Amino acid sequence: MPASIVDGVSIHEMIGRAAECARLDELLHDSRSGRSTVLVLRGERGVGKTTLLDHAARRAGDCRVIRVRAAASEVEFAYAGLHLLCAPLLDELARLPPDQRGALERAVGQGSGPPPDPFPVAVAVLALFAGRAEERPLLCTIDDAQWLDEPSARVLAFVLRRLRRPPVAFLLAERAPGELAELADLPRLPLGGLAAADARALFASAVPGRVDPAVVDRIVAETHGNPAALLELVRGTTSAELAGGFGIPGTGRPDGRIDEDALARVGRLSPDGRRLLLAAAAEPTGDPTLMWRAANQLGIPAEAADPLVSAGLLTVGPRLTFQCPALRSAVYGLADREQRRQVHRALAAAIDPGTDPDRRAWHLARAADGPDDELAAELARLADRAGERAGLAAAGAFLAKAALLSRDPATRVDRALAAAEATTDAGNPKAAECLLATAELGPLDEVRRAGLGRQRARIALASGRGGESVELLLRAARALEPSRPGLARQTCLEALAVSVLTGEHTADVAAAAGDGPPAPLSPGGMDLLLDGLVTRFTKGYAAAVEPLTRALEALSAESSDDQADGQLGRWVWPVCEVAADLWDDEAWQALATRRIRLARESGAVLVLPAALGSLALLDVHRGDFAAAAARADEADAVTAALGVPASAAPRLVLAAWRGRPDPLAGARCDGGEELGPASVAGFAAAVRYNGFGRYAEALAAARDAVELDELALHGWALVELVEAATRAGQPGAATLACERLTERTRLLGTDWALGIEARSRALLAEGAEAEELYREAVRRLGRSRIKVHLARAQLLYGEWLRREGRRTEARVPLRAAHELLAVMGADAFAERAHRELRATGEKARGRSVETPERLTPQESRIAFLARDGLTNPEIGSRLFVSPRTVEYHLHKVFAKLGIRSRNELHLVLAEAEPSREMPCVNP
């Protein structure tokens, strides 16, 4: 499944059209209930009519779907549209009376003779659709209905006014203002531009990372909420050009998106009018006060704006906007370099250096016509301020410009490397490669050459070349050892982090990192993390528990340290994986949440997917599958927007616990998906097969997964191996796996670790010992966040009790397991519990008539985020929808759950009530 697809829908298609989608869902419901329905969607080009037709087709369920798009080139051909519409039904012609069949055959070119009378043609079409709908409901969509030829439009209008039963749903999309007279009196749904909040959410989904809000508001205003126009404008502008709002897009020639008439109107302007329009194009926020000051600097009179407004080129109000969104970049691109420098100098002079020094410096840099060390130093000094305003993309843009303006070659190299680092972290590795090419032209001593290697390694990792990244980082670390031992250690940690992430040669990389410089006398959290990981992969798990525990404690204690936070937020340190490896769910939660916050605040979007993926895996273990799906969806949307490989782990593990097929089997066969550690697939398969009770297959998959001693995954796979081997009749394999597992868990002391140990040992025990171990497992896991294993411990305990002949007692843990697993959505395990309950003589309770309707996936995500205290705007920014859409879904959630406000969400989502088939549970 492509990363840009969520629940079968492009992420862009989910924004701002909740009410319209609900209207179409109602129409489809009416059709399934036996009533024919018709609706005409009317709006300008790009407003989303086709997207809504796609939505209806996806939601058609068991309806037969016929989709037609009219063409402007066929509008003069009589019955051309009817030919398209009836083509899928022509095999039904034999059922029609001869006169109707003959008329329709002549109309659509299937018969010879004189042109048919329109009435029998219309009656034939009506009979044709009614006959096909007798079999099952029918949905017909006609896109670009404004291009229907007149005879087809008349026949269609006749049919639409007479269809009653059997049920046919007709959806037509018509471009405004080209209304067909024949369809004028049909029910219609007018489509306007997106609301400002929805348009901002759409922008955020297409441009991950931070952009100056004033620039976003200007882009939203210029595109008038038209989704296609906004996305087209974003696609035509690289993130380097946006640069967090400081970039000036479109320095090339205009393209086909520009209205030639608008360009002609620009050409007819006076010189003052063209310069004023250029000043407006060069000011990215659309600040009218700033433009008037710049106009004064340029000697342009205020009345020069009148022709711009009267010609329909510029709108002057609280914000200056171009009426054609692409005209801004065209005007800027058509100006020569000297003209652009003049307006940037004027804009810089118009800005107060005391209140907006970074914006002023940026315009001065645009006005520069050669190296300028003073200005370069000012840009480098203000890079952090620009980053605070608009994220790492802006900081990278400032440093890149500072590099270009620096006379000293060594200084230019240093600034280019710093710019490349910020630009890579902001999610633009291609732009970073260009900066590295600049750095390569300067003098490279050993340290700078190592810095170049480190940045190339980051770009390689972002591009999915993990092996190349590790080699580059180790080479850089060796070069840095003599002069920069601290940076050498950090680079070793980066290399080890990449090997953990990809699962490639981790032991070898750890050994190489261990040969590097020793830790300082007062090591920080990162130093402790490096030494602990080296120990973990060279001396074994037991030796690493103490140093890795100290590393996590130190990193948590450094939470107020800005430098430590910056390191944690801008690199894929395996801190969350270490917490999971130590079976410490509390530390895992805290560190993953902190990494996500830091990535969002800094604009380091490149590390955001990994942080979201880690928390999604914890959500799976917590039994909150809806939360896990929401975070995995967001991670996939970010990687799709950045064009970088997505991690497969969250989707694989979530699908396994849900008892669903491997979602990446095809991609794995084709080699087209970045899968990460190979043991992820083995572990996921073991979970899936254990859920279905296919223990021999689970055993084989678990054995594959434990081949490599990877963080967290190795221990998790041992748990699956113990259960699979026990049930597959291989006690020797189960005993060996359990011994390996307990060697780890007994060192830790967390309820998660000790609960898993008790559950695994219980599978191998008998009599009173087994019962006591099962009870301990349920008790300990109930105190942890790890509710999926609590439910499985209850399931195993109930299975054991039934096999001991204690059927009545078995019902209690089996009932608890079934209810909790069903609430989570762990369908295979829930069905296993259901079978066991039936074997005890009890039926598992189904949904009662009072049970609320199950929440949709989107409603579940919004409900759990609202339950956790997020506001509507915060939820919207997480899920790429508008606050208005969030509010719409919450009202539906309240109705389904039988509550009145978000303050009551914790009451119905906090506990796994057996009568409520909720998709998520908060332990």
Cα-based angle 698, 699, 700 (whole degrees, multiple of 5): 95
User: Quick check: 605 and 613 in contact, CB under 8 A?
Assistant: no
Task: Judge contact between 167 and 196, C-beta under 8 A.
Answer: no
State the pLDDT at residue 442: 87
* pTM across the whole model: 0.76
- What the block records as the tokens of 22 is 């609900």
* Number of residues assigned to the chain: 923
Mean pLDDT of the chain: 83
pLDDT of residue 97: 83
Is the link from the previous residue into 166 a cis peptide, with omega within 30 of 0?
Answer: yes
Q: Are 760 and 722 in contact (CB under 8 A)?
A: yes
The answer to whether the CB of 883 falls within 8 A of the CB of 200 is no
Band (pLDDT 50/70/90 cuts) for residue 3 is: very low
Quick one: which of 16, 385, 389, 334 has its CA closest to 215? Answer: 389
53 with 69: CB under 8 angstroms?
Answer: no
Average pLDDT over residues 303-316: 87
584 vs 748: CA distance, rounded Å: 8
Instruction: Calculate mean pLDDT across residues 612-637.
Output: 89
What's the rounded mean pLDDT across residues 85-100?
80
Helices 787-803 & 751-764 angle (0-180, nearest 10): 20
State phi, psi for 524 to the nearest 5 degrees.
-90, -175
Q: Is the pLDDT of residue 12 over 70?
A: no
Kindly indicate the confidence band of residue 400, based on its pLDDT and cuts at 50, 70 and 90.
Answer: very high
Higher pLDDT, 762 or 598: 762
User: Quick one: pLDDT at residue 93?
Assistant: 78
* pLDDT (mean) for 871-885: 74
Report how far residue 383's alpha carbon sits from residue 386's, in angstroms, rounded to the nearest whole number: 5
Given a cut of 70, whether residue 570 has pLDDT beyond it is: no
**DSSP letter string, 675-707:** --SHHHHHHHHHHHHHHHT-HHHHHHHHHHHTT
The helix/strand/coil state of 337 is: helix
Q: Lowest mean pLDDT: which of 81-95, 176-190, 475-489, 675-689? A: 176-190
Where do we find the tokens 């009530």?
Answer: 913
pLDDT score for 583? 94
User: How far is the C-alpha of 477 from the C-alpha of 530, rounded, in Å?
Assistant: 13
Q: Is residue 332 scored above 90 in pLDDT? A: no
The contacts of residue 517 (CB under 8 Å, 6+ apart) are 481, 485, 486, 488, 489
Alpha-carbon distance of 679 to 79, in angstroms, equals: 60
- The yes-or-no verdict on residue 567 having pLDDT over 70 is no
Say how far apart CA 496 and CA 517 lie, in whole Å: 15
910 pLDDT higher than 60? no
The predicted pLDDT at position 544 comes to: 94
Element (H, E) at 330: helix 327-334
Question: How far is it, in rounded angstroms, from Cα 408 to Cα 410?
Answer: 6
From CA 652, how far away is CA 1, in angstroms rounded? 12
pLDDT of residue 921: 29
Structural Rg of the chain based on CA atoms: 32
d(CA 420, CA 488): 19
Q: 916 pLDDT exceeds 50? A: no
Classify residue 211 by burial, with Cβ atoms within 10 Å: 0-12, 13-18, 19+. buried
For the record, the structure tokens of 778 come out as 């349920």
pLDDT, position 561: 53
Percent of the residues in the chain that have a pLDDT greater than 70, as a whole number: 88
**Average pLDDT over every residue of 605-625:** 89
**Chain segment 204-244, per-residue pLDDT in tens:** 777 777 777 888 888 888 888 888 888 877 775 655 556 65
* Of 718 and 637, more confident: 718
Predicted pLDDT of residue 33: 75
Average pLDDT over residues 277-286: 88
Contact 184, 37 (CB under 8 A): no
Q: pLDDT confidence of 184, banded at 50, 70, 90?
A: confident
What is the band of 757 on the pLDDT scale with cuts at 50, 70, 90? very high
- The number of C-alpha atoms within 13 Å of 505 and in the hemisphere containing its C-beta is 13
Label residues 686-712 b or e (16+ Cβ within 10 Å = b). Answer: bbbbbbeebbebbbbbbbbbbebbbbb
Strand order across the 64-69 sheet: 64-69, 138-143, 168-175, 37-43, 188-190
- The conformation of residue 93, written as its DSSP 8-state character, comes to G
Amino acid occupying residue 580 = A
Q: In this predicted structure, what is the pLDDT of residue 790?
A: 94
Tokens at 600, concatenated: 């969002």
Among residues of the chain, what percentage have pLDDT more than 90?
Answer: 30
Instruction: Show contacts of 311-318: CB within 8 Å, 24+ apart.
Output: 311/265, 311/268, 311/269, 312/262, 312/265, 313/262, 313/265, 313/266, 313/277, 314/277, 314/280, 316/288, 317/288, 318/288
Distance CA 878, CA 870 (A): 10
pLDDT in tens, 127-158: 888 877 777 788 899 999 888 888 888 888 88
- CB-count exposure of residue 909 (10 Å: 0-12, 13-18, 19+): buried
> Is residue 251's pLDDT more than 50?
no
Q: What gap in Å lies between CA 225 and CA 195, rounded to an integer?
A: 6
Average pLDDT over residues 70-86: 86
User: What's the pLDDT tens digit per position in 687-698?
Assistant: 999 999 999 999
pLDDT at residue number 346: 94
**Element (DSSP H or E) covering residue 170:** strand 168-175
Model confidence band, residue 113 (pLDDT cutoffs 50, 70, 90): confident
Model pLDDT, residue 286: 86
Q: Is the peptide bond before 177 cis (omega within 30 degrees of 0)?
A: yes
Segment among 43-57, 321-335, 554-568 with least mean pLDDT: 554-568
Contact 66, 85 (CB under 8 A): yes
Distance between alpha carbon 727 and the CA centroid of its chain, in Å?
39
Spatial neighbors of 364 by CB under 8 A, at least 6 apart, are 344, 345, 348, 375, 378
Kindly report which listed range (779-783, 792-796, 881-885) carries the lowest average pLDDT score.
881-885
Whether residue 790 contacts residue 782, with contact meaning beta carbons closer than 8 Å, is answered with yes
> Is the model's pLDDT at 671 over the cut of 60?
no
Lowest mean pLDDT across 79-88, 857-866, 903-912: 903-912
Per-residue pLDDT, 225: 85
Confidence of residue 83 (pLDDT cuts 50, 70, 90): confident
Are the CB atoms for 395 and 387 separated by under 8 Å?
A: yes
The structure tokens 């997917």 sit at 609
Q: Whole-angstrom distance between the N-terminal and C-terminal Cα of the chain?
A: 31
* pLDDT tens figures, 497-545: 888 887 778 889 999 998 888 988 888 888 999 999 999 999 999 999 9
Can you tell me the distance from the alpha carbon of 32 to that of 59, in angstroms, rounded to the nearest whole number? 12
Amino acid residing at 307 = P
The residue type at 11? I
pLDDT computed for residue 849 by the predictor: 32
